[in-house]
C-alpha cells in the first residue's frame, strides 16, 4: 500500500520499500522535516535552548519500533523528547501543554487495521497542525536535505505517564457530575480493541464508580476485530451487554479519540448520536441556568458561545438539538483540523464529528473519548433513563454512505459541476465538494473527493433509511448518466 501523505501527517502499512509503505526511511525523513520546521511554528523554545516534543503511541504491534525511530530522529535533530509511551491520542495532545512542550508526535493509525501505522503531528498548543504548516513539512520532506545535531547537541529523553493528569482534568470539569454517576450505579461493558483504551478507560470508569466488564482490554495491539467502532464490528460487545445485563456498552477505537455506545438491549445508540447526546446535555444545562437567571442562553454560555460545530458529512441532528435551545450551529469541511478551526472562529461550546468524535474545548481542542464518556454518563445519570430511552429523545435521522469509483480522476470535477447545475435551486454548500440540502424534507446529500483515490464519497441523510439510500443512489445515477459509465 503506497505511503499516504497529508497535511496532518503520514500513514501506511508496515514493511516494503521506502515510499511503498511506512518504512524507517520515510519515518526519519518526515520527523526530520518536522524538526527542521519547528522554528517556523515557534521562533524559540518554550524552555531552555532546545525544543521539546512529546511522543505518545497506541498499542499497535509496530508501535515500539516506530517509537524508537521517532525518538531517535528527534534527539539526532537536537530536540529533547518527553516519551509518554502507551497513551491515548487525547492524552498525548494534552501532554504537550502539561509538559510545556513545543509540539508532539502521535504514533497511531487510529481506526485502521493492525498492519497500518502513522505519524500525526501536533503544534505547541497540542492541536493538529494547520493546512499551511502541514504543507511546509511535506515540502521539506520531499527535498531529502538532512542536517543533524553534533554530539554535544543531541537531545535528551525523559519518560513520564500523563494518564492521571488527563483523568484529573476530565473529572475536574463542572459538567462532569461524578456524584450523580456514582449514585446511578451503572454497569458497563468496555470494548477497548486491545489497545490503549484498555489502560485509561477502566481507570476513568473506576474513578466514576462504574462497574466495568472488560472486553478486549489487553493493550497488546492484537485487535480482536476490525478496529473501527461501527455496529457491524461490535456484535461481540452487543452480545456481552445483553448477557451481562449491563446498562451500556462502550467502544473506543485504538487511539481512543472515537466513541460509540451500545444500548442495554444490545442495539447501537448510533455513532452519529454520541456527539448529539453530549451536545444536548450541555445545552440543557445552559438552558436551565438561563431560565433561572432570566438571561438569554448566549450570555450564560460564557466564556464560550452557545454554538455547536460539526463537519458537513455529520448528522443534522446536532443542528436540531442546538437550535432547540436557542443556540447556533456551524458546519466545516471534513477533517478534525477543519472542525477545530471552525470552533475557534465561532468560540463554540461543543463540536466534533459524526464518527463518534467529541471535542469539548473547555478541556482541549481534540476528539476525546474519555471526556465524551464522562459527559455521556453524566447525561444518562441525570435523565434516569435507559440508554435506549435516551436515544428516542433525539431527532431520528438515517445516514447512507456510498462511494463512486471512477476510471479517471479528471471525471470528479465534471461530476461535481453536474450536481451543482442539477440542484442549483436548492441550498448548496461548496465548502468541501458539494452539499445539497433539502430543507422541506429535512434531508441532504454530500459529495466530496477522496484525497488518495479516484473516488467520490457520497453521504446522504434523511428521516428514513429508504429516503437516505434513494438520495445517494439518485446522485450515482446522475453521475453515471453524465459520464456514460
Q: What is the mean pLDDT of residues 283-303?
A: 86
**Is residue 62 flagged as an active site residue?**
no
- Rounded to the nearest 5 degrees, what angle is found at the Cα of 124, between the Cα atoms of 145 and 375? 135
Helix (H) or strand (E) holding 255: none
At residue 3, the pLDDT reads 85
1 pLDDT more than 60: no
At residue 4, the pLDDT reads 86
Q: How far is residue 422's CA from residue 348's CA, in Å, rounded to a whole number?
A: 34
Neighbours of 311 (CB within 10 A): 24
At residue 224, the pLDDT reads 92
CB-facing half-sphere around the CA of 213: CA atoms within 13 A: 18
Closest CA to 354 of 315, 393, 320: 315
Query: Which residue stretches of 193-271 are H helix?
Result: 197-207, 235-243
At residue 69, the pLDDT reads 98
At residue 485, the pLDDT reads 65
Catalytic residue among 8, 62, 88, 110: 110
pLDDT in tens, 429-457: 999 999 999 998 999 999 999 876 789 99
Q: How far is residue 304's CA from residue 147's CA, in Å, rounded to a whole number?
A: 44
Neighbours of 302 (CB within 10 A): 10
pLDDT in tens, 94-132: 999 999 999 999 999 998 999 999 999 999 999 999 989
Q: How far is residue 246's CA from residue 264's CA, in Å, rounded to a whole number?
A: 6
Closest CA to 405 of 326, 316, 476, 333: 476
List Cα–Cα distances, 419 to 152, 334, 424, 442, in angstroms: 61, 19, 8, 19
Task: Spell out where 36-135 has E strands.
Answer: 52-57, 80-86, 103-107, 116-122
CB-facing half-sphere around the CA of 40: CA atoms within 13 A: 14
Mean pLDDT of the chain: 95
12 pLDDT more than 70: yes
- Give the chain's count of helices (H) and strands (E): 17, 20
Starting at the earlier edge strand, list the strands of the sheet with 348-353: 328-332, 305-311, 348-353, 357-359
Closest CA to 89 of 376, 275, 366: 366
Q: How far is residue 476's CA from residue 403's CA, in Å, rounded to a whole number?
A: 9
Q: How far is residue 238's CA from residue 247's CA, in Å, rounded to a whole number?
A: 11
At residue 410, the pLDDT reads 86
Burial string for 327-344 (b: 16+ CB within 10 Å, else e) reads bebbbbbbbbbbbbbbbe
261 pLDDT more than 80: yes
Q: Tell me how far the alpha carbon of residue 129 is from its chain's centroid.
A: 14
Closest CA to 455 of 420, 415, 421: 415
pLDDT in tens, 363-416: 999 999 999 999 999 999 999 999 999 999 999 999 999 999 988 888 999 999
Task: Spell out where 144-291 has E strands.
Answer: 157-159, 187-191, 211-215, 248-252, 259-262
pTM of the predicted protein model: 0.96
Burial string for 409-447 (b: 16+ CB within 10 Å, else e) reads eebbeebbebbeeebeeeeeeeebbbbbbeeeeebbbbb
Phi/psi at 206 (5° precision): -60, -45
Helix axes of 131-143 and 24-36: crossing angle, nearest 10 degrees: 120
Q: State the maximum Cα–Cα separation within the chain, in Å, rounded to a whole number.
A: 69
- Rounded to the nearest 5 degrees, what angle is found at the Cα of 132, between the Cα atoms of 155 and 362? 75
Q: How far is residue 93's CA from residue 365's CA, in Å, rounded to a whole number?
A: 9
Q: What percent of the chain has pLDDT over 90?
A: 87
Amino acid at each position: 500500500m503506497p505511503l499516504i501523505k497529508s497535511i496532518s501527517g503520514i500513514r501506511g502499512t508496515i514493511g516494503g520499500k521506502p515510499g511503498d509503505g511506512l518504512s524507517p526511511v520515510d519515518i526519519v525523513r518526515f520527523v526530520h522535516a518536522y524538526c527542521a520546521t519547528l522554528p517556523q511554528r515557534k521562533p524559540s523554545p518554550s524552555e531552555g535552548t532546545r525544543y521539546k516534543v512529546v511522543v505518545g503511541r497506541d498499542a499497535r504491534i509496530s508501535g515500539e519500533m516506530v517509537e524508537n525511530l521517532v525518538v531517535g530522529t528527534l534527539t539526532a535533530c537536537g530536540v529533547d523528547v518527553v516519551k509518554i509511551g502507551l497513551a491515548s491520542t487525547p492524552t498525548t495532545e494534552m501532554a504537550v501543554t502539561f509538559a510545556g512542550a513545543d509540539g508532539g508526535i502521535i504514533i497511531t493509525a487510529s481506526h485502521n487495521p493492525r498492519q497500518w501505522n502513522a505519524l500525526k503531528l501536533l503544534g505547541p498548543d497540542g492541536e493538529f497542525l494547520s493546512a499551511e504548516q502541514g504543507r511546509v513539512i511535506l515540502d521539506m520532506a520531499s527535498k531529502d536535505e538532512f542536517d543533524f545535531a553534533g554530539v554535544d547537541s543531541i537531545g535528551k529523553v525523559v519518560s513520564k505517564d500523563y494518564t492521571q493528569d488527563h483523568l484529573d482534568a476530565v473529572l475536574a470539569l463542572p459538567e462532569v457530575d461524578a456524584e450523580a454517576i456514582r449514585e446511578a450505579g451503572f454497569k458497563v461493558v468496555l470494548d477497548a480493541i486491545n489497545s490503549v483504551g484498555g489502560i485509561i478507560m477502566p481507570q476513568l470508569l473506576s474513578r466514576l464508580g462504574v462497574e466495568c466488564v472488560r472486553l478486549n482490554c489487553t493493550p497488546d495491539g492484537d485487535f480482536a476485530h476490525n478496529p473501527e467502532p461501527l455496529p457491524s464490528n461490535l456484535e461481540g460487545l452487543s452480545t456481552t451487554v445483553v448477557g451481562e445485563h449491563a446498562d451500556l456498552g462502550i467502544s473506543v477505537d485504538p487511539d481512543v479519540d472515537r466513541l460509540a455506545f451500545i444500548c442495554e438491549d444490545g442495539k447501537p445508540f448510533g455513532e452519529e448520536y454520541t456527539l448529539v447526546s453530549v451536545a444536548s446535555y450541555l445545552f440543557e444545562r445552559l438552558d436551565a441556568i438561563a431560565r433561572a437567571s432570566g438571561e438569554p442562553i448566549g450570555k450564560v454560555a460564557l466564556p464560550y458561545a452557545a454554538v455547536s460545530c460539526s463537519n458537513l458529512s455529520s448528522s443534522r441532528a446536532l443542528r436540531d438539538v442546538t437550535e432547540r435551545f436557542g443556540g447556533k450551529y456551524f458546519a466545516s469541511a471534513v477533517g478534525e483540523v477543519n472542525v477545530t478551526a471552525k470552533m475557534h472562529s465561532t468560540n463554540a461550546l461543543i463540536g466534533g464529528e459524526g464518527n463518534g468524535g467529541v471535542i469539548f474545548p473547555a478541556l482541549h481542542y481534540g476528539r476525546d473519548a474519555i471526556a465524551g464518556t464522562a459527559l455521556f454518563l453524566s447525561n444518562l445519570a441525570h435523565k434516569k433513563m435507559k440508554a435506549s430511552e435516551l436515544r428516542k429523545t433525539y431527532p431520528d435521522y438515517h445516514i447512507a454512505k456510498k462511494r463512486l469509483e471512477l476510471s479517471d480522476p479528471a471525471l470528479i470535477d465534471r461530476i461535481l459541476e453536474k450536481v451543482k447545475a442539477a440542484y442549483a435551486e436548492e441550498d448548496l454548500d461548496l465548502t468541501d465538494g458539494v452539499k445539497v440540502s433539502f430543507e422541506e424534507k429535512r434531508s441532504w446529500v454530500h459529495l466530496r473527493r477522496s484525497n488518495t483515490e479516484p473516488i467520490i464519497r457520497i453521504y446522504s441523510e434523511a428521516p428514513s433509511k429508504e429516503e437516505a439510500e434513494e438520495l445517494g443512489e439518485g446522485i450515482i445515477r446522475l453521475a453515471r448518466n453524465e459520464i456514460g459509465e
